[in-house]
A = this chain, B = another copy of it.
Amino acid sequence: MTTANTSAVLSSVLEAGGPELSRCLMRTETRLREVAESHGDELARHAAGTLAAGGKRLRPMLVFLCAGESASDALVSAAAAAELLHMATLVHDDVLDRASVRRGRPTVFADGGRAAATATGDLLFSRAFAELVADGGPDAVAALSRASSSLARGELMQRADAWAEDVSRDRYLERCELKTARLFEAACRLGSLLGAPGPGCADALGRFGTRIGLAFQIFDDVLDVSGPTERTGKPRGADLLDGTVTLPLIIARERDPGLASLDVRAVVTGAPQADALCDRIARTGALGDAREQALHFVAEAKAALHDLPLSERQQRALHLVADGVVERYA
C-alpha cells in the first residue's frame, strides 16, 4: 500500500472507523514517539526515521478495529507493541538486505551501521514486550511472543529457501504465514482480548488477521513482479534478485518448463535481466492466478467475521481493510 491508492484506502477505513479510530491512532503515534525518546538520543534518532517511514499503521489499526469502540491505555499499548515488533523486523531486514533507503528515508543500517541497526532492532523487540507488560495480561504477551517467534522462523525459512528450485506452494504459504500473517493475527487477537469483543472472539478475529496477512503478502509478491516501479517504489523483481522464491515464480515454473530448469541466480544479475524474468513470469498467467489465491484469502477473512458480535461500524471498517489490500490493484 505504498501507492496513491493507499491513502484512498486508508481514508475510507478511517472514515468508516469514525473519530474514535483516528484518536486511538494518534495516541499510538504519541506512545511510539515516547518509547523512542525514552531510550537515549541514539535510539531516538534511529527510531525516528523508522517511525516516520512505516506510515500505514495497519497493525495498530487492526488492534483498534477488532477491539471496537473502547480506547483504553491497554489497547494503545497493544497497538504500539504490534507496531514496535513490526519496526524491529524492518530494521533487522534492512541490515540483512544492506538496504540504504526505506520509503525515501535512510535506513538505520545506512545511518548508523549494522551494529547500531542490530542493537536498535533488539531494543525495539524488547520495548514491544515491555509495552504489553503493564496492562496486557498473559494472553496478550503470549500472542505477541508467538508472533515474534514466527517472524524469526519465517525469516530463517526464507533465507534457507533462497534460490531453491523446489519450493512448493505449501512451503511458500507456510513462510508467508510465519513471516507476515502471524503478526496480523496477533494484532487482531490483541484487539479482541483487550477490547469489547473479549477473549471469545479472539480465535475468529485471529483467523481474519491470518487470512488478510496471507493476502497482503501474496499481493506484495505479485507487485514485485508486476511493478511498475512508479507504483511500488522499488525496482521490479527486487525479491527475485534477492533469491526469494515467491508464488508468481512457483506458479510460472509449473507452466514454463524452461523456467523450471532456469538457475535464477546465474541468469538474473541485474535490473534488465530481472525485468525480462518478470515479463516471462507474467506471460505464464501466474500473476492472475496468484491474485486469485490472494482474493480467496480475502474472502475467507470476511467469512471469519460472519456472525461475530461486532458493531456495524466494525464490520464495515474491517471489510474495507480486507478489500484494501485488493485495492492496491484497482
Contact = CB atoms under 8 A, between A and B. Distances in A.
Interface string A123-149: 101110110011001100110111011
Interface string A84-116: 000011001001100000000000000001111
A42 B119 contact: no
Interface of A: 39-40, 42-43, 88-89, 92, 95-96, 113-116, 118-123, 125-127, 129-130, 133-134, 137-138, 141-142, 144-146, 148-149, 151-153, 155-157, 159-160
Contacts of A43: 153, 156
8 contacts: A96-B118, A118-B155, A119-B155, A119-B159, A120-B152, A122-B155, A123-B149, A126-B152
Given A92-B122, A156-B42, A142 B130 contact: yes
Q: How many copies does the complex hold?
A: 2
Given A123-B153, A126-B145, A129-B148, 11 more contacts: A88-B122, A89-B122, A120-B156, A121-B122, A122-B125, A123-B152, A125-B148, A125-B152, A129-B129, A129-B141, A130-B146
B126 A156 contact: no
A157 B115 CA distance: 11
Contacts of A118: 92, 95-96, 118, 155
Contacts of A151: 122, 126
Nearest to A114: B96
B149 A119 contact: no
A127 B141 CA distance: 12
Given A133-B142, A145-B126, A152 B119 contact: yes
A123 B42 CA distance: 25
